[in-house]
Amino acid sequence: MRLARLWLAAFWLALPPAALAQGQAPQQGAAEARPEAQPGLPTHGAISLELNKLEGAQGACRAYFLVQNEMPVALDEMRLDVFLFDRSSVVLRRVALTYSDIRSNRMKVALFDLPDLDCGKIGRLLVNDVLACTIEGGKPIPDCADLLTVSSRADAEFRY
């Protein structure tokens, strides 16, 4: 009975205000309004990110990433929330990785030093979230997370 009340409450909360005022249920299959494309922002393309190599470097693990911008505009900044896991799938660390100034239809190598970390202990990297994704002028790219694909050539997995 309690579950039925919760479901009914959720149903009524989902109704648009106009339907509640008129006592109508929402129409099935009604098209949702989509925001129009903003001038200067990409509406297609992809951002490919490859974990290419992990190597020890003066008490740190150096990660080499190959990032490819397949959009019609330059990528000013992409900042990712990434979790590092050991070979037993236990979290080692959380890092924010920032990729900057990636020209349109170009590839770039980005290096990150992960201090006090042995590369051999890293079993997997997971992109947990896209924290920022902007073009020139700091304009955010809509649905940037949907444009991102990841792969790995290193001994560690790379997932999104």
Check pLDDT > 50 for residue 122.
yes
In a domain, 130, yes or no: yes
pLDDT at 118: 97
Check pLDDT > 50 for residue 14.
no
pLDDT at 38: 52
**Both structure tokens of 6:** 């919760």
- Among 41, 150, 154, which Cα is nearest to 99's? 150
- The per-residue pLDDT of the chain, averaged, comes to 82
Rounded CA gap, 88 and 95, in Å? Answer: 19
Q: What is the mean pLDDT of residues 123-136?
A: 98
- Do the beta carbons of residue 92 and residue 61 sit within 8 Å? no
| Number of residues written out for the chain | 160
Q: Per residue in 61-109, pLDDT tens?
A: 999 999 999 999 999 999 999 999 999 999 999 999 999 999 999 999 9
Task: Tell me the helices (H) and strands (E) count for the chain, helix number first.
Answer: 3, 9
In a domain, 119, yes or no: yes
Q: What is the mean pLDDT of residues 111-129?
A: 98
In a domain, 9, yes or no: no
pLDDT at 135: 95
pLDDT at 44: 72
Compute CA 111 distance to the chain's CA centroid, rounded to the nearest angstrom. Answer: 19
In a domain, 95, yes or no: yes
In a domain, 4, yes or no: no
Token look-up 């947990």 returns 128
Q: Per residue in 15-62, pLDDT tens?
A: 444 443 444 444 444 433 333 445 556 657 999 999 999 999 999 999
Q: What is the mean pLDDT of residues 113-120?
A: 98
CATH of residue 98's domain is: 2.60.40
Total domains present in the chain: 1
In a domain, 23, yes or no: no
How many angstroms separate the Cα of 34 from the Cα of each of 9, 18, 37, 38, 137?
27, 19, 9, 12, 24
User: Given pLDDT bands bounded at 50, 70 and 90, which one contains residue 116?
Assistant: very high
